[in-house]
Amino acid sequence: MLLTRILSPSFEQCDVFMPDFLGKVSEKDDKIGWKRASHEDLQTWVGFEVPEGTQEENGVHYEFQMWVREP
């Protein structure tokens, strides 16, 4: 899963959100394991350079992340 995580501000007035996928439980009642991929793995997967760490644009702090399911 490719994710742009907004770190701040909180944007509490927005009606768009993403459920907490780290705590998601499957239909079999097994917890679905996710692990954050390394920045190098992210760049390899997308095939181009991706800014690393916290970015800032117009007062919004964010970070590009990639998450993979654990076997």
For the stretch 28-66, pLDDT in tens is 656 668 889 999 999 999 999 999 999 999 999 999 999
Q: Which residue has the higher pLDDT, 31 or 23?
A: 23
- Give the whole-angstrom CA distance, residue 39 versus residue 22: 19
14 — pLDDT class (breaks 50, 70, 90): confident
In terms of residue numbers, what domain contains 39? Answer: 1-8+30-71
Find the mean pLDDT for residues 3-31: 75
The pLDDT, as a whole number, for residue 47 is 97
* Within-domain flag for 20: no
Q: Residue 41: which of 12, 9, 64 has the closest Cα? A: 64
Q: How many domains does the chain have?
A: 1
* Within-domain flag for 45: yes
- pTM listed for this prediction: 0.75
